[in-house]
Amino acid sequence: MTDPQDAYLQLLARVDDFTRRVSQRYPGMLQCQAGCDDCCRRDLSLFPIEIDRVLEQLAGLAPDQQRLVLDRARAALVDEEAACPLLEEGLCLVYPVRPVICRSHGLPLLIPEQDSLSICPHNFKGLLDIEGECVLDLTPVNQILATTNLLRSRAQEKSPERISISRAIVEALVGGESP
């Protein structure tokens, strides 16, 4: 059986490969870049398998940056309109280990439960049609993510439940202290 962390890393690689293929097929249509942070203007929830990597990266930040992230995370727990606490001056402080949802923002997404196609308003402007092979179907992505998370949670005897980035940061840095 594949290690859950290895399976998760394979999923990230597949999403990154998909993004490269879309960028190559539609050059200049993906406007996602440093400073484009509209999709980061919320406190997302993540599976623990994703949180693990985020917290590892966070631990490597300078203490003053960690305090700043902690302050923003606390604020986000009481303000539903707060941006991701890891967003600093339009950049993600943990970009190399960003979770699946962050990697897929901006792509043409098939959202099966809504039977709809979601496309960032900044991307694919003027394009009337997008090839099906360039639309990311979230069903298999979410199934793989949920399965790897469940396997990880069982192996570590921890909860598999999603948690907000802010709550995870507060719990990791101050042991669950309330905001």
Q: Return the closest-CA partner of residue 158 out of 147, 166, 149, 167.
A: 149
Q: How many CB atoms lie within 10 A of CB 167?
A: 18
Quick one: 133 exposed, middle or buried, by C-beta within 10 A (0-12, 13-18, 19+)? Answer: exposed
pLDDT tens, residue order, the chain (179 aa): 579 999 999 999 999 999 999 999 999 888 888 778 888 888 889 999 999 999 999 999 999 999 999 999 999 999 988 899 999 998 999 999 999 999 998 899 998 777 788 888 888 888 878 888 999 999 999 999 999 999 999 999 999 999 999 999 999 998 754 44
What pTM, to 2 d.p., does this model score?
0.88
